[in-house]
Amino acid sequence: MTDATEIDALKASLRGARNAASALGEVATRVDAVDAHQADVSDADLDVLRDLTLANAIAAQALRGFIESMLKRRGKLTASTVESGNAGIDE
């Protein structure tokens, strides 16, 4: 049986990630137009990029977390795959 609330929440999370990604379009056009030999990226564009990339990171991580919780609930994903203590990094 499907969970309509869960599916609606997934759709909303996906919309948030897509909206955050599409917001990069306008500033990306301006940055793409910069001739690296003639000019620099404006401080204003860097400020906008800082904000938008943070929004993208948050939206993407929220979506990923939601998907993982759905998979865990369905038994399709095990718990943590990283060893505790060393974050999976061997020295």
Domain ranges of the chain: 8-33+41-73
Give 51-76 pLDDT, tens digit per residue: 999 999 999 999 999 999 999 989 99
Whole-angstrom distance, CA of residue 73 vs CA of residue 67:
10
- Contact criterion met (CB below 8 Å) for 63 and 14: yes
89 Cβ partners below 8 Å, 6+ apart? none
Q: Which two tokens stand for residue 49?
A: 């990029």
pLDDT digits (tens, 9 = 90+) for 12-35: 999 999 999 999 998 999 999 999
* Contact yes or no for 27/48 (Cβ under 8 A): yes
Q: Which pTM value belongs to this model?
A: 0.72
